[in-house]
Chain A
Amino acid sequence: MRSWDNDGFATTGTSARAVIERAQTSWLLVPGVVLVASVFLAPFLLLFAMSFWSQPEGTLLVDPSPTLGNYQRIFSDGFYLRGLMRTLWLSVATVLISLILGFPVAYWIVRRARRLRRLVTALMLLPIVCGALLPTLGLVNLLSPLGIINGSLRSLGVIDRAIPLLGTQFGILIGLVQAFLPLMVLPLVAVLDQVPRSLEDAAMSLGARPAQVWRRVVVPLAARGALAGSVLVFCAALTSFVTPQILGQGKIATFAAMTWQQASLVLDWPFAASLAMVMLMLIGALGVSVAVLRRSLGQRL
């Protein structure tokens, strides 16, 4: 895999000046890390502590004496774990589908679109522009039993009875991909833009077939963009609330829906916090197993 990651700055400079410069560049991290540490990590630590607290009967106020009760409740009960695992699987599937759909689109935008480029990029950005709610309701009109898809299939005589698309995992998946595809395409476009056209041309002139050029030249160079997009799509799908709630018609419990129910309706914050912590553990486990898989495949990916 070739990218400018272990960049020239590292290889060229062992001189004192280069070392100092690298140290100075590290300071650029400070504002971002301070922001995240104060506005995200502080509440996160509060939540972590809270996940060991409890809510005594008859009150919504919390009792901060430590207990493992919330975790016991999650692990002793398939309902919550099933919901978390289902959300993980939906998120991974969303990433894979977005990758398959998004890569060719990004490539086309960068290499072939020419005059249409800005327009198509803007169109791809639109789902993010409108937020989750309104496009999701638009999807309902498309997917419902009397929606446009079922309606057209029926009038074409392809089906007799409506295919249930709402209230299924498949319907949620369609909604998640529709909503978050831009998060895959846009980083890919930003990265592919940097890949010199000449590289592909050179490969072609050396007699490589288009498929080979893709596999050997384009894909490795775009891997960073794909990674960026995958992280964004994965997290967005994982914590997405509106889309799975409306398209799942409330029949399919997901991570965000369970957390919302506990945090905002039942107001059992310690339990909501522990759900979030268990989810983080599952993400961690997923990350580790992907890393192990990559290593065992000899880093071919």
Chain B
Amino acid sequence: MSRFALPAFTALVVLFTIAPLLVLMFSSFDDGRFFRFPPRDFSLRWYHAAFASVEYRSSLLNSAVVGLIATGISVTFGSAAALGLLRGAARSRATLEMILVAPLTLPLVIWAIALLQIYAWLGIGGTLWGLVLAHATFTLPFSVRVMLATFASIDPGLELAARSLGARPWRAFARITLPLALPGLATSAALSFFISFNDVIVSTFIAGSSWITFPVRLYSQLRGQGIDPTTMAIGTMIIVSILIVVGLTELFNRRTLRA
């Protein structure tokens, strides 16, 4: 009984989590401008539109660039800070930890407005770096929290053992701790990237005209025109491509294991 309880429970929770996305994927094939259930006609109209739109392509590219740089900063700084907190000598650990997670507690809208004012005083409004730094800052807490949990659950005895056998500190860290931390690093990177990629509020205020991101474009026409179903098609394609990548790595792994 209990053998089936856990998988069944998991299946239900996963279904609950992805149900709205299934609805979304389904509706991207609805021919109408507005989704209704059941749809009247199915078509690939919005997929054609997605590929035809230069604006969507360039804004998706902007989002990807901003997301990748911000993720790089967030994961490196976040992991370093987590290590520093755990293994460093800092006395005010709790305070530092709080500071690092603080960006999560303010609604982004009011923070972005204040940041915009400061950027304007400094004359860096509308620049890529201004935007990237903002994204790195609000994704940093995710990296810090996940890496704190990850590093704390790795037995430091392993690294110490390697060092007592003569490995240099950095090498010992790179050979022992880093590989063990990979799942945590991957989680931090995925969270940071997608949270940055989907941000509307900060980007609306901070992004300059050369760096309009995909969600800003989507949101800027939402109030007036409503949702462009093209974005559902794009969302579906992103989901499917992630699942394909996962499937391929899985296949690849299994091949190499067998070989």
Contacts and interface: CB of A to CB of B under 8 A. Distances in A.
Interface of A: 3-5, 7-9, 12, 19, 21-23, 25-33, 35-44, 46-47, 50, 101-102, 104-105, 107-109, 112, 115, 118-120, 122-139, 141-142, 146-148, 178, 181-183, 186-187, 189-191, 193-195, 210, 221, 224-225, 227-228, 231-232, 235-236, 238-239, 241-242, 255-256, 259-260, 263-264, 269, 272-273, 276, 279-280, 283
Contacts of B246: 118-119, 122
B103 A4 contact: no
B16 to A, nearest CB: 7
Nearest to B254: A115
B110 A263 contact: yes
A135 B142 contact: no
20 contacts: A4-B152, A27-B84, A29-B80, A29-B88, A39-B133, A108-B10, A122-B242, A129-B194, A134-B232, A137-B20, A178-B19, A181-B17, A190-B149, A224-B148, A225-B153, A235-B104, A241-B201, A269-B110, A273-B110, A273-B114
B47 interface: no
Interface residues of B, number: 103
Given A22-B87, A27-B88, A31-B80, 13 more contacts: A4-B156, A26-B88, A33-B99, A119-B250, A123-B18, A134-B232, A137-B227, A139-B23, A142-B19, A186-B190, A194-B150, A228-B146, A280-B106
Given A32-B80, A127-B17, A259 B7 contact: no
A105 B83 contact: no
Contacts of B76: 31
A128 B89 contact: no
A231 B133 contact: no
Interface of B: 2, 6-7, 9-10, 13-14, 16-24, 27, 35, 37, 73, 76-78, 80-81, 83-90, 96, 99-111, 113-115, 117-118, 133-134, 136-138, 140-142, 144-146, 148-150, 152-157, 160, 169, 180, 183-184, 187, 190-191, 194-195, 197-198, 200-201, 215, 218-219, 222, 227, 231-232, 235, 238-239, 242-243, 246-247, 249-250, 254
Contact of A4 (B22, B27, B155, B184): B155
A269 B2 CA distance: 55
Which residue, of B76, B100, B142, has the highest number of chain A Cβ atoms within 10 A? Answer: B142
B238 to A, nearest CB: 6
Given A29-B90, A105-B14, A130 B238 contact: yes
A35 B77 contact: yes
A130 B233 CA distance: 12
A29 B21 contact: no
Contacts of B134: 39
B83 A28 contact: yes
A282 to B, nearest CB: 11
A227 B149 contact: yes
B28 to A, nearest CB: 10
Contact of A7 (B21, B87, B90): B87
A101 B195 CA distance: 22
Contact of A8 (B96, B141, B157, B215): B157
Given A35-B137, A122-B242, A131-B198, A239 B77 contact: no
A135 B117 CA distance: 32
A236 to B, nearest CB: 7
Helix, strand, loop or mixed for chain B's interface?
Answer: helix
B118 A46 contact: yes
Closest 5 CB pairs of A and B: A138-B20, A131-B198, A26-B88, A28-B84, A32-B81
Nearest to B180: A194
B108 to A, nearest CB: 7
Contact of B156 (A7, A26, A41): A7
Nearest to A104: B9
B88 A22 contact: yes
Given A8-B156, A225-B153, A128 B191 contact: yes
A264 B109 contact: yes
A259 B84 CA distance: 35
B194 A125 contact: yes
Given A22-B88, A35-B133, A239-B104, A4 B154 contact: yes
Contacts of A44: 102, 106, 111, 114
A187 B146 contact: yes
A39 B100 CA distance: 12
Contacts of B115: 39, 42-43
